[in-house]
Chain A
Amino acid sequence: EDKVVQSPLSLVVHEGDTVTLNCSYEVTNFRSLLWYKQEKKAPTFLFMLTSSGIEKKSGRLSSILDKKELFSILNITATQTGDSAIYLCAVGGNQFYFGTGTSLTVIP
């Protein structure tokens, strides 16, 4: 059965901290892994990863994929209160299986 598991389920940090969010998967017909940020509304796209070892970076956020070990990480450095959200990982090809997300709270 295809599945996507994210950890931790929730995380509380202080502004300025660095966090690492994890996503492991077992999905047939893998084509890509996507990261989304959700703040009380629709998920917004962060990254798409298709190849192992190539880091994607956007400002303080970065992500990398390991297709051999079947996982991805999302790093956020120098966290800000605006980073507080649920971070979702989706894996698949024709369709996407979502993990249940990691809820991140950044305290001032």
Chain B
Amino acid sequence: DAGVIQSPRHEVTEMGQEVTLRCKPISGHDYLFWYRQTMMRGLELLIYFNNNVPIDDSGMPEDRFSAKMPNASFSTLKIQPSEPRDSAVYFCASRHGLNTGELFFGEGSRLTVL
């Protein structure tokens, strides 16, 4: 299996622009998580899905952030408009089942907003 695939790996954009991050989870995994990592705050959970349905989005910073999972093999995290404080590494992770535990992480998308 190719693992969790994220794109782009790096994105540099200007404040106010729309940013779309993409994730393909491991086939057969029914849970998908979006995390944001910064030096100051570590890994923060933004939102997670179960069987393509958003379960908890309480970690989404504000209305500028939105996430979708139109099918079992694809999810997007969108930031519109982007701000410099959104600069971070965004990780997608997937998991099979409720009790198996291990999260499989993608390589991350490093976002820089100028």
Determine chain B's interface SS by DSSP, over half rule.
Answer: strand
Given A42-B107, A95-B33: A100 touches B45 (CB 8 Å cut-off)? no
How far apart are the CA atoms of A90 and B101 in the complex, in Å?
A: 10
How far apart are the CA atoms of A101 and B41 in the complex, in Å?
A: 10
A31 touches B103 (CB 8 A): no
Which of B41, B43, B45, B55 has the most C-beta atoms of chain A within 10 angstroms of its own C-beta? B43
Given A95-B56, A96-B33: A45 touches B102 (CB 8 Å cut-off)? yes
Closest CB-CB distance, A36 to chain B, in whole Å?
8
Which of A31, A95, A97, A100 has the most C-beta atoms of chain B within 10 angstroms of its own C-beta? A95
B102 touches A42 (CB 8 A): no
- Say whether A94 faces chain B, with CB atoms less than 8 Å apart: yes
Contacts of A100 in B (CB 8 A): 41-43
- Say whether A32 faces chain B, with CB atoms less than 8 Å apart: yes
A99 touches B42 (CB 8 A): yes
Closest CB-CB distance, A87 to chain B, in whole Å?
12
Contacts of B50 in A (CB 8 A): 94
Which of A42, A48, A88, A99 has the most C-beta atoms of chain B within 10 angstroms of its own C-beta? A42
How far apart are the CA atoms of A34 and B93 in the complex, in Å?
A: 14
- Say whether B106 faces chain A, with CB atoms less than 8 Å apart: yes
B108 touches A95 (CB 8 A): no
- Say whether B2 faces chain A, with CB atoms less than 8 Å apart: no
Nearest 7 A/B pairs, CB to CB: A100-B42, A98-B43, A42-B105, A48-B101, A32-B101, A42-B107, A45-B102
